[in-house]
Amino acid sequence: MPSTAGPYKQQGATLIVALVFLLILTVAGVTAVRLSTNSEHMASNSQFRGSAFQLAQSELKAQVFNMNTNVANRQPLLDAKARPLEATARYPERRAALGLAPRIAEANLTQATNTNSLGSVDCLLFGDGTSAEKFNCDQFELTTRSTLTSGAFSEQVGGLVMSTPK
């Protein structure tokens, strides 16, 4: 009679154990690939958002620089001041937005810049440190939205004050 407790009864067990280990390693490898791909996507999205933020900031600075280089370039501000009121609780004298031509252009970029008039206030400016002159200070808000072709965008807001003597 053959013995039931010999090495011949466990011939298939090694194959089954090896296949289970192979399955576990395959699942671990697929999970690692998915995690690294997701990390790569998150890193590139973060880079695109950073680029959009920098482009929006640059556009705001370029718009302000353009308005400060020549008085004629301030015409959009005067046009925004003349637009109808769109009052809000925070800004009761807020005007309707007026679009400005973009100053920064790139192939993979869409820029949109608007200016709003936030109203006027009386202000004092000290010229020589001893005497103050009365001025009318018009307050404006510049809003820039930079959108990359990847879909990343950044919207930045900056303030601008234009003073005129009374």
Query: pLDDT band at residue 57, thresholds of 50, 70 and 90?
Result: very high
Q: What is the pTM of this model?
A: 0.67
Specify whether the CB–CB gap between 78 and 98 falls below 8 A. Answer: no
- The fraction of the chain above a pLDDT of 70, given in percent, is 83
Distance (Å, whole) CA 143 – CA 155: 7
Distance (Å, whole) CA 137 – CA 150: 40
Q: Rounded mean pLDDT of 107-119?
A: 84
DSSP summary character for residue 9: G
Please say if the pLDDT value at position 6 is more than 60. Answer: no
- Least confident range from 47-56, 90-99, 136-145: namely 90-99
Distance (Å, whole) CA 156 – CA 146: 9
Q: What is the pLDDT of residue 156?
A: 92
Strand duo 98-100 + 109-126: pairing: antiparallel
